[in-house]
Amino acid sequence: MKIKKILLHPITILISMGVGVFLGYYFPQFGSSAGNLGELYLNCLQMCVFPLITAAVFNSVLSLCSNLHQSLGFLRNFICCCFLGMLGSVLFGLATGIITALGSEIDIASQDVLGAFVNNQESASSDKFSFRNGFDFLHMIIPQNPFTAYAEGSGLKILFFSIVMGIAFSFGVKERVAILSNILSELFDACIRVLNFLILLLPLGLMFIFANQFSVITFEVIGALGKFLTVSIVAISFIIFINIIILKLASRKSLIETFRGTSNTLTMAFATSSGFVTMPQIIQDMENNFKVSNTGLRLVVPLSINMSPQGTCLSISLFGIFFAQMYHVNLEAHVLLIIIFGAMMISMAISGLPALVGISLISALLESFGVPRGVSSALLLAVFPILDPPLTMLNCIGSCTYAYLLGYKSADAKIALGQTALSIK
């Protein structure tokens, strides 16, 4: 346990990241080679995450289906929480971008630096994904082949398949379904054990990941985007603080206790930049530190990570205002509506997808009101590695807030989700 605490201590994490930045910037060839090792480490982590999602959601849906009336109440509360969380993040991002004039004050030197970077990143816009209509969004949710969804790492498709199967199996023969439920519970525990081992290698994995990222990104580009990055990080930090305040008020804990109770989640989110990888830590923190029902957590956390990422919504709205102002697009009502609804849809669609796919979807949204796809894709590639860790922190602390609010209400109403024969351990 002492070795694990040392390896996962925030100071160890920061040192690993610092070493990675140094090696990537001053030894770019090493950084390029390290990218393969960093990607391999992330693949090992995600190898266990998607089976874990299936096991958790499948068994939780089985338990919820044992009481349909209470399940409908839970679903209503969940949708309200998620919608308000995402809408609040998007509106705050719009207001912040407009008030600070993010893209209106880029000097000539910064324009030259950004122009040179865009010219060197022409391939960034090679893949084109876009929403032509609402059915395109449904295609990103409903899997044609569930095995392909696992292979592609498409979180929403895996989530949809797990929910549908959970509902369908709830109508099956209870004795047979109970066997499958127990097997999936053991699968969940096995995935947790593997993840606990892989997390011990986190400092090494982080060094490789950051070395690769900073072998491409230069400090000149970061300086040219200094105002945007600063405003974005301040906005992200503010909403993280708001979530902690909500948790504090709801749990009636002190601010320090609330922060300590979520510190492991925040550290893991920042270190891995993956809400999926952080899910087991969220479940553990909320169960141990906030006494939320484990069964409820295993449903709320995967759902909220996939369907209500506050950080992703905030970032897309900030990107929208930044590029609109940079290209002198009038912020009329239809432009703001495109950003609002586009940010909410895309933030759900890109959960678990490769970064290039997410960037391409955001670029397609920006292109709809006149921002060149190539420019936005290249600049998004530059800022995402920097903003991804704090954005993931916001996504995960938002999931903690949803889990407490929904799980706590369920406990008060004495919804015994884990007391049926089909419940998970």
Q: pLDDT tier at 48 (50, 70, 90 boundaries)?
A: confident
pLDDT at 86 over 90: yes
Q: Which pLDDT belongs to residue 273?
A: 82
Comparing 22 with 271, the larger pLDDT belongs to: 22
pLDDT at 412 over 50: no
**238 with 231: CB under 8 angstroms?**
no
Q: What is the pLDDT of residues 197-214, one digit of tens each?
A: 888 888 888 888 878 877
Comparing 204 with 416, the larger pLDDT belongs to: 204
Give the range among 17-21, 128-132, 176-180 with minimum mean pLDDT. Answer: 128-132
**289 with 46: CB under 8 angstroms?**
no
Mean pLDDT within 395-403: 94
Mean pLDDT within 354-360: 68
Task: Determine what percent of the chain is predicted with pLDDT higher than 90.
Answer: 22
Comparing 416 with 314, the larger pLDDT belongs to: 314
Comparing 408 with 195, the larger pLDDT belongs to: 195
**384 with 392: CB under 8 angstroms?**
no
Q: How far apart are CA 216 and CA 195, in angstroms?
A: 29
Mean pLDDT within 321-326: 88
Comparing 331 with 415, the larger pLDDT belongs to: 331
What amino acid occupies position 123? S
Count Cβ atoms below 10 Å from residue 75 Cβ, excluding itself.
12
pLDDT at 275 over 80: yes
**404 with 286: CB under 8 angstroms?**
yes
Q: What sign results for the dihedral spanned by CA atoms 306, 83, 137, 169?
A: positive
pLDDT at 18 over 80: yes
Comparing 286 with 5, the larger pLDDT belongs to: 286
Q: How far apart are CA 119 and CA 71, in angstroms?
A: 53
- Phi, psi for residue 82 in degrees, rounded to 5: -65, -45
pLDDT at 126 over 50: no
**What domains can be seen in the chain, in order of their start residue?**
2-412 (1.10.3860.10)
Q: pLDDT tier at 321 (50, 70, 90 boundaries)?
A: very high
Q: Which pLDDT belongs to residue 218?
A: 60
**4 with 268: CB under 8 angstroms?**
no
Burial class (CB in 10 A: 0-12, 13-18, 19+), 369: buried
Comparing 417 with 16, the larger pLDDT belongs to: 16
Nearest Cα neighbor of 381 from 364, 365, 358 is 358
Q: Distance from CA of residue 223 to its chain's centroid?
A: 26
Q: Which pLDDT belongs to residue 239?
A: 96
Q: Which pLDDT belongs to residue 210?
A: 79
Mean pLDDT within 38-63: 83
Q: Which pLDDT belongs to residue 227?
A: 82
Q: How far apart are CA 213 and CA 209, in angstroms?
A: 6
Q: Distance from CA of residue 389 to its chain's centroid?
A: 10
CA angle 199, 37, 233 (to 5 degrees): 65
Angle in degrees, 0-180, between the axes of helices 373-412 and 226-251, rounded to the nearest 10: 10
Comparing 310 with 115, the larger pLDDT belongs to: 310
What is the chain's mean pLDDT, rounded? 80
Q: What is the pLDDT of residues 362-395, one digit of tens each?
A: 888 888 888 887 777 777 877 877 888 899 999 9
Nearest Cα neighbor of 283 from 297, 302, 272 is 297
Q: What is the pLDDT of residues 53-78, one digit of tens each?
A: 888 888 888 877 766 666 777 788 88
Q: pLDDT tier at 249 (50, 70, 90 boundaries)?
A: very high
**97 with 417: CB under 8 angstroms?**
no
Structure-block tokens of residue 237: 């930090």
Q: Which pLDDT belongs to residue 124?
A: 46
Give the range among 90-104, 144-158, 361-375 with minimum mean pLDDT. Answer: 144-158
Q: Which pLDDT belongs to residue 234?
A: 94
Mean pLDDT within 258-267: 91
**388 with 273: CB under 8 angstroms?**
yes
